[in-house]
Amino acid sequence: MENNPDIKPKSKLLTYIVIVIMIAAIVGGGVVYYYSTIHKSSTETISIAAPTYYSSSSTWENFVNNATKSWQAAHPNVKIKFIGPFGASSEGNYYTKLDLLTSSKSTAPSVMLEDMFYTATYQHEGILAPLNSYVNSSFFSNTYSSALGQMTVNGTHYGLPATVTDTLIYYNISLLQKAGVLSSGNTTWQPTNWTQIMNAAQKVNSTSTLAGVTPLNIYEGVRADEASSFTGFEGLLYGTGHGLYNFTNHKWYGNNPGLNETLHFYKTAFSKKYATSALSSTPYVTVGQYMQKGKLAIGIDGSWMYGYQWAPGAQNPINNFSKYIGVAKIPTINGGGNGFNTMVGGWGWAMYNNIPTSEKPLVASFMMALDNTSNQILVNEPHNGLAGGLPTAKSAVNNPGFSKLVPGASYLDTFYAKLLKYGSYRPPVSGYPTVSSALQTAMSDVVSGHESVSSALSAYDSTLVSSFGASHVQKMSGSSPSIQPSPAYSNYQSNKNIQTFFYGYFTDTSIFTYNYIFW
């Protein structure tokens, strides 16, 4: 066959290229069609973990399904599965079980609810996925920085905050009136130092008509897990002018006057039988019932208690709440510094890092739906999983469901908001759970009488040194065993740099808009 003189070599080349492109398009189109068909017809599963030790699995399942109903309708081939962990009896037990789940890709949840203080630990262990690339920046900008900061490590976001809470003092008005702490007809009690708390407990204890009443509850030891560290111990500790971690030299504080003062408070309260360890066995549940029934006079607890225990629709609702239960701020050791302290914490949703990269945008989309402003309100309503908490979205105040958060006691939102300026929170450093556990052991040893305060602090030091190395532990000389005004607080100003990290997030008065807590 002769060559066609009208077809130049260059033209032949172009013809071949066109043919190749057409074949590639046909084949590629088939591949795309095939992938698309398989992808659309297959079912993906997003698994979710959340604590069930104070709310049932059905409560969480109902919340998730209600909260993401529209999202699920738009993603019919995605299955949502709640996987527990089941059988957790406490927050510590929840994390033990969650650790087991996340130890294997085959059992790990796609999305997990975690206490914010665990973020740095899980990020350090490679368990959490960074979210900056998958979550709209507008979502982060709508979250108050003090909440977002607890789930952020070196500028990278590892969680979507869902709720935040603070700590305070609740008291049974009638019991304090009978003990003479409050005069007849007076319902307001606000201690301005630790001694006044102890004196009030002593009066309740010595009132013959109040036999059988527990004067004071403060969570202690390993049995109450993080409730002991966060709600109990640290609420006092940060009121001494001392903290747990020095962010200037990146060292944990070992024995210091603040730790010494706080452990002596515990020793006094429990050795004099003002407080009992029994109420730490079931944190929040038994305490709420005891105070409601007139069996507990004073309790150092959290803002979540109202929505969790006493609000309309909660476990043990109290009508006309303000007639029976009063609220007060936790004072600093002798009224120095800012005068009061509150511990700010909360929970947030995080993504498991080892799910396939191709699935992360889908999971992030689900998380944004799960944690939108309306659902932050929904999950914190009295009947839901994080009952008693408060939303972290700046726009929540404009949401129609906002008024449902503190039903029956609207004055509480103003009170909770005013606590913010006294706020501290746990250091977002990966070693914190180890430190928290060591604090709980020290509390248990002192309260049980097995160890003196000095021996317990020595053991605490040893735990920190063995866990982090001597070069990462800073000891401060001096001690002051009395809960009377003491030299411990004279260090407040000199240690202001320690406090700046904690207090700095809570000085923006714009967060008090509409007298509610938003951050």
Residue 427's pLDDT band (cuts 50, 70, 90):
confident
Residue 84 to residues 46, 170, 308, 384, 487, Cα–Cα distance (Å) = 13, 32, 20, 16, 48
Greater confidence (487 vs 361) lies with 361
Q: For residue 322, what is the enclosing H or E element?
A: helix 321-324
Residue 505's pLDDT is: 30
Which residue in this structure is represented by tokens 């009690």?
189
* For residue 486, pLDDT beyond 80: no
Quick one: the chain helix, strand, coil %, rounded to 5? 50, 15, 35
- In the chain, what percentage of residues exceed pLDDT 90? 63
Answer yes or no: are the C-beta atoms of 426 and 410 closer than 8 Å: no
Among 85-99, 277-291, 397-411, the least confident range: 397-411
pLDDT of residue 74: 97
**Structural domains of the chain ordered from first start:** 45-165+345-405 (3.40.190.10), 170-343+425-504 (3.40.190.10)
The pLDDT of residue 308 is 83
Alpha helices in 131-256 (DSSP H): 137-141, 145-148, 173-178, 194-206, 226, 234-237
Closest CA to 95 of 148, 53, 157: 53
Q: Is the pLDDT of residue 421 over 50?
A: yes
List the beta strands (DSSP E) in 306-344.
Answer: 325-328, 330-331, 340-343
